[in-house]
Amino acid sequence: MSKVILPAASGGTETFTFSGNAAPVDTGAWNRKVFAAAHVVVYPFADNNPWQDCNVDWDTTMAFRRHLWSLGFGVAEAMDTAQRGMGMDWPTSLELIQRSVSEAKADGHSIACGAGTDHLDPADAKTVDDVIAAYEMQCEAVEATGGQVILMASRALCKVAKSADDYARVYGRILSGLKQPAVLHWLGEMFDPALEGYWASSDHMTAMDTCLEIIEANAAKVDGIKISLLSADKEIAMRRRLPDGVKMYTGDDFNYPELIEGDEQGYSHALLGIFDPIAPVAATGLAALAKGDMERFNAVMAPTVPLSRHIFKAPTRYYKTGVVFLAYLMGHQDHFIMLGGQQSARSAQHLAHVVRLADAAGLFADAEMAAVRTARVMATHGIGV
C-alpha cells in the first residue's frame, strides 16, 4: 500500500495510507449540459518574475482540456479557475481562448469562453461607458474565434455603477451586440471581494431581482446564467424565476449534486471549477443520473462534496491552489507551480486534508504516484524529511 507522512490535525505528523480504491469511469451520455472550468499549467523553466508574468505551458494546458473533453465535459475557458484576475492577464487569456476554441471547433467539442473587463484597471474606470467599451472589446475578440461568450462579472462595473439602471444599460448594450446567446456569470464576493454589491445591492435577493429583470429584458440573447453564491436556496429561488429557455448553470461548489439532480420544479445544468479535479468521478455520476440510477449518482457524487467544500473553504478565492495540487497528484502536470506563486496560498494542513478527502472520493488511479508527489510537496514544508 502507498503511504505518506502528513501533518496531523492535532499537531505533529501521521502516516496516511492511500486506499487504492479509484472509482471506475463511465462516460455514457448525459441529460445535463455541463462545463468544467479548467485551470492552466505554468511553464516552470521560464526565467521570469513568477508573481507577475504569465508563462503558460501550452502543450500541457491543452492536454488537460483534451482530458476533460474525452470524459464528455464542455470546457469553460479562461474563467476564474484559470486565475483570471489573479495571475492570468487578458493577452494570455485571449491566446488561451484562441487555442482552445480552434481545437474544440476542429474536433466537435463544447466550449464557452470568459469575456470581461479585466484589462481595464478598476482604478482607471471612470464611467459606465468605459466599462461598455472594455466589455465590447473582449466580447468581439471571443466571438472572432467562434467561441460562445460567458459574460464575466466586472470589477470595474461594480466600482462605477451607481444604480441598477447602470447594470441594465451595460448588459443590455453588450448582449444586444452578440452574435449568439451568452452565459451570464454572477460571481459572489466570497470568490472575489471586489465584486461585493454586484447588481447594485449587497443584499443577494435584491440583486437577484435586478439580474432577473435584465435577463427577462434580453432573454433571446441569454443562454443561461451561472451563479456562484454557495447557497442552494438562492440558486433554486432564482432558477424557478428564470424565463422559459434560459438555463441555470450551477456554480455552487458546495451543493452541486442536489442542484444538478433537481426537484419536481426543475434542475440546474453546471459550470463548475470543482469538475476540473473530480472530472472522472463526476462523469460517472452524470452518466448514472442520465440513466435514472439515482442511487449510483448519489453514491458516486456524495464523497466528492466534502472534498469540494474543503477546497473552496474561505478564503474561497484561493480554491485554485487545491485544484492545481490535485492535477499534479493525478499526473496531469509534472509540478505544483501556479501563476502568481499561488501554490503558497494554502497551508500544508489544508493540502494534507485535500489528499485524505480526494482518496476517499476515489480520485487516485495511481496511488503510488500520488503518494510520491504528496511527499515531495510535504517536504517543502519540512514534513517527512
Summarised one tens digit per residue, pLDDT across range 42-95 is: 999 999 998 989 999 999 999 999 999 999 999 999 999 999 989 999 999 999
d(CA 360, CA 363): 8
Cis peptide before 315 (omega within 30 of 0): yes
User: What gap in Å lies between CA 326 and CA 242, rounded to an integer?
Assistant: 35
Instruction: Classify residue 183 as left (phi > 0), alpha (psi -120 to 50) or beta.
Output: beta
* pLDDT reported for residue 385: 75
Give the pLDDT confidence score for residue 1 in this predicted structure.
Answer: 60
pLDDT at 368: 97
Residue 264 corresponds to which cell in the numbers above? 419536481
CA-based nearest residue to 288, from 280, 301, 297, 279: 297
One-letter amino acid of 27: T
Contact in structure between 141 and 95 (CB atoms under 8 Å)? no
Whether residue 116 contacts residue 188, with contact meaning beta carbons closer than 8 Å, is answered with no
Residue 190 has pLDDT above 80, yes or no: yes
pTM to 2 decimal places: 0.96
In this structure, the number of other CB atoms found within 10 A of the CB of residue 208 comes to 20
Would you say 232 and 200 are in contact if contact means Cβ atoms under 8 Å apart?
Answer: no
The residue-averaged pLDDT of 157-166 equals: 97
32 in Cβ contact with 267 (< 8 Å): yes
Domain ranges of the chain: 1-22+330-385, 25-302
List 304's β-bridge partners, or say none. none
SS3 state at 34: strand
- Looking at residues 13-17, what average pLDDT do you find? 97
Give the distance, in angstroms, between the CA of residue 263 and the centroid of all CA atoms in the same chain.
Answer: 24
Averaged pLDDT, 9-27? 90
CATH fold of 25-302 reads: TIM Barrel (3.20.20)
HSE-CB of 263 using CA atoms within 13 angstroms: 10
Name the least confident of 39-53, 104-118, 191-205, 316-330.
39-53
How is residue 76 written as a grid cell? Answer: 469553460
Residue count (the chain) = 385
Per-residue model confidence as pLDDT tens digits over 108-136: 999 999 999 999 999 999 999 999 999 99
In 146-182, alpha helices (H): 155-160, 164-176
pLDDT band for 340, please (50, 70, 90 cuts).
Answer: very high
**pLDDT above 90: percentage of residues in the chain:** 94
Higher pLDDT, 27 or 64: 64
